[in-house]
Amino acid sequence: MMNPRWKIVGLAAGVLLTIHLLLSLAHPTYSSYASPSFLRGSSPLERVHDLSVGNLEVPPSSVPRNHTDPNRRKANAVFVVLARNSDLWSFADSMKQMEDRFNWWAGYDYVFLNDEPFDDAFKEHTQRLTNSKCHYGLIEHDHWHQPDWIDEEKATAAREEMIRKKVIYGHSVPYRNMCRFNSGFFFRHPLLASYDYYWRVEPSVKFFCDLAYDPFLVMQDEKKVYGFTLSLFEYIETIPTLWDTVKEFIRENPQYVPEDNAMAFVSDDGGESYNKCHFWSNFEIGDLNFWRGEAYTKFFEHLDKAGGFYYERWGDAPVHSIGAALFAPKDKIHWFSDIGYRHEPFQQCPQGDLHTRGKCWCDPNNDFSFEWYSCTNKYVDMFK
């Protein structure tokens, strides 16, 4: 007779696959998945510490000794927020945590972007939460809306098919607009033109740990181009032809792909197929000039011309992840394993000394980093 405990696990696995199709996030930005805590794998802590903050010396206290120095060294960086007026209070929670954990001493500005003008209430309340400057920008019409050259009959048929298959956000044109904007246009906004680095912050996220160092300076000093916390598998029904389009671009432009890239993160067979791994881009700290560069610009133009943002439902998470993996050396992609972060339904809770040092208030047993549905082990394995 089967052990009742394994019956429960098997039942849970079946429920998980159902949730994979139906779960909707509190803030409609990303497709979501679920992974119950009792299916967790053990976290190889000995590998985590070496990858947490590169070679930077992190002070043991929760407040940098020079935090009151007006001449403290800073990166040319900014927080980037894509939000609606209706997101005010859910973002206020995120912003307050960012200020309490890090920015009260770091003093970086915010750039808010919206496809409609921000109202006075949004501006007043967000500016009140920080001593830094807040800038509010309107997204250019052509950067947000479906292009005229998209075959609407074909796009409509694709949405109807996704509705039939119950693909999350499969019906939504605004969601596709958002994915396309984040993939190819946010870094072109005039309010970001003078910055080199950004940290993407979304409504309804949590930051669990104090940061006693500056992640932007890690990016700058170690010449990193992309930083992440969570990674997982993409919902393949949303990107059936994405990898074929990527391979087409690589064949036509091999000069953009360095030999020491992170192909092993996104492909298990040397690039023949996509393993669906991506960095969850609701958290990302990145080099704006990398996205503005020739390789990624031409890559995005190739994807955009193929129409997959509307004929399918290509997300900015796999697009950013594939772009970073292919066009940057693998050691320029950084896992911030010491940053406690949650975007429903997943969280990263730092382990061991990282949890203690950050005065984290998350449960270290609830950490997605090495769950079976996470791809972070593939990132770690690249550096063995």
Catalytic positions are 284
Q: Which two tokens stand for residue 383?
A: 């550096």
CA atoms in the 13 A half-sphere facing the CB of 193: 4
DSSP 101: I
Backbone angles phi, psi at 120, to 5 degrees: -65, -35
Q: Is residue 118 within 8 Å of 112, Cβ to Cβ?
A: yes
At 316, which amino acid appears? D
CA distance 331 to 382: 9
CA distance 44 to 351: 10
Give the list of residues 6+ apart from residue 148 with CB closer than 8 angstroms, or none. none
Q: Is residue 29 within 8 Å of 202, Cβ to Cβ?
A: yes
Axis crossing angle, helix 294-306 with helix 242-252, rounded to the nearest 10: 130
Which among 198, 179, 251, 226 has a CA at the least distance from the CA of 324?
Answer: 226
Using the structure block, give the residue that is written with the tokens 């992440």: 228
Inter-CA distances, 311 with 39, 65, 109, 314, Å: 35, 53, 37, 9
Radius of gyration of the chain (CA): 20
CA dihedral 288→170→379→75, nearest 10 degrees, is: 20
Inter-CA distances, 58 with 45, 215, 295, 338, 358, Å: 18, 11, 34, 11, 11
Using the structure block, give the residue that is written with the tokens 């794998």: 41
List, in sequence order, the alpha helices (H) in the chain. Answer: 4-22, 45-51, 88-98, 104-106, 120-128, 141-144, 152-164, 173-184, 215-221, 242-252, 263-266, 288-292, 294-306, 308-311, 316-327, 353-357, 376-381
